[in-house]
Every structure is written in C-alpha cells, then in structure tokens.
Amino acid sequence: MAEIKADPFPFRLDRGAVALIVIDMQRDFTEEGGFGASLGNDVTCVAKIVPDVRRLIEGFRAAGLPVIHTMECHRPDLSDLPRAKRERGNPRLRIGDEGPMGRILIAGEAGTAILPELAPVDGETVIEKPGKGAFHATPLDDILKERRIAQLVFAGVTTEVCVQTTMREANDRGYECLLVEEATASYFPEFKAATLAMVRAQGAIVGWTAHLADVLRGIAHA
C-alpha cells in the first residue's frame, strides 16, 4: 500500500486494484461548435484542464496501471435517448441535431470523439454511456469486477454532472473513489468547488480529492 496525500485524509492506494476513469473528454464538450457551447457555455473553462488530464493519463500508463475512458453518446436512431433528456434546457442544437462537427453526441460522429491528445491507446477500455453516470446501461461494473478493481481515480468533465454522478454510482457499489482536482472542470467554477467539498465531506462520504502532483507521486511509488 502507498499513501496519497488527499482530503479529508490520506488515500491508501492499492496498486493491484486501482484504475483511472477519464470522464467524457470529448470534442462536443470542449470545443466551439459542440454541445457544451450550444448550451451557451464558455468551453475554455473545461478545455484548460487538457494538459493536466494528459499528465495524469501518462502517469498511469507509465506506472502500468489501467486507464478507462468514457464517452457520452447515443445511437444514431436515438433509441437510447429519453425524451426528457433531449428536450432539457434551451440549447441552440439538441442531441441528434446536425452541428459543425456532425450530429450532436451521436456515436461515431466527429464531435463525439475523445480529444486527440487524450485518445485511448490499444488495450484501453472505452465505455460509451447514454447517461450521465458511467455505470448506467453500460458494462463498466462487470469490467471492473472482472479485473478485481476496487479503487477508482477520476478525471474529466463536468465535475458536478457526469463526474460526480459516476463517483456516486461507484460509491454505492463499494468502490473507493478519488477525484483529481486539477484534472476535472466545470463550466461554472463555483459548481466545481461545491462538488469537491460535497464528495469529501463527513469523512469522505463519497470519496477523496487530491492534487495532481500528489497522485502522480503516489502511483509512481506504489
């Protein structure tokens, strides 16, 4: 066991049972012309974490630890898209509509792709998820159990929606969860701050938070 400096107390890392989950680092959420921008958001707020997410991914790869990527996307016929989700909010472009990078959040479209600088390499798992949480309607839990993964380190966007939802799903399933502060972001900085406080409240009721440098140091010495 190695300890990672974390809040609210050190995270005891089990090298043989940990994986990195990178949530939805897709063009549709980080670039102009994508779904995030169509909702009126400033995508630079989330795009700025790309270098730190890349450092985290590279650290896990260098340590020989598994990296799992998620992509929020739907079938071309929209059969897995609830009406309530498609109609939510007031975006310029709704899920399934044709946008500058193809149909919004549809599997196989250019905008749905993970950013090239964070792209999965051979052997890394990619989970296509129709919901905010990565466990809903996906094989993620089965994959983790098959690999005897019990601890999850999280990065990605957005902190308060897909990242937090997946952390809470994981927590309910018995996984220990750690969120890397510099490697997650929201379109609303105050939402990120509130989420970090919520997940580590009451003795890590949902999980731990830690700084990137401490996580990289911990996995390198595990």
> Residue 90: its pLDDT value, please?
77
> Residue 88: its pLDDT value, please?
80
- Is 80 catalytic? The answer is no
In contact, 93 and 104? CB cutoff 8 Å:
yes
Going residue by residue through the chain (222 aa), what tens digit of pLDDT does each one get? 789 999 999 999 999 999 999 999 999 999 999 999 999 999 999 999 999 999 999 999 999 999 999 999 999 999 999 999 998 877 888 999 999 999 999 999 999 999 999 999 999 999 999 999 999 999 999 999 999 999 999 999 999 999 999 999 999 999 999 999 999 999 999 999 999 999 999 999 999 999 999 999 999 987
Residues facing 19 on adjacent strands: 152
- Give CA 146 to chain center in angstroms: 21
Decide: helix, strand or coil at residue 145: helix
> Residue 6: its pLDDT value, please?
98
CA 98/CA 109 separation, integer angstroms: 10
- 27-32's contacts with Cβ under 8 Å and 24+ in sequence apart are 27/101, 27/110, 27/111, 27/112, 27/113, 27/114, 27/115, 28/101, 28/104, 28/105, 28/111, 28/112, 29/157, 29/158, 30/115, 30/157, 31/101, 31/111, 32/100
In angstroms, the Cα distances linking 113 to 41, 58, 81 are 19, 19, 18
> Residue 16: its pLDDT value, please?
96
Torsion of CA 36, 39, 45, 47, to 10 degrees: 20
Catalytic residue among 7, 24, 28, 52: 24
> Residue 1: its pLDDT value, please?
77
Q: Which residues lie below 8 Å from residue 78, measured CB to CB, with a gap of 6+?
A: 86, 95, 96
- Is 24 catalytic? The answer is yes
pLDDT in tens, 54-72: 999 999 999 999 999 999 9
Q: 77 is written with which tokens?
A: 């016929």
- Is 45 catalytic? The answer is no
Catalytic residue among 28, 45, 129, 177: 129
CA 177/CA 16 separation, integer angstroms: 15
Catalytic residue among 45, 73, 162, 177: 162
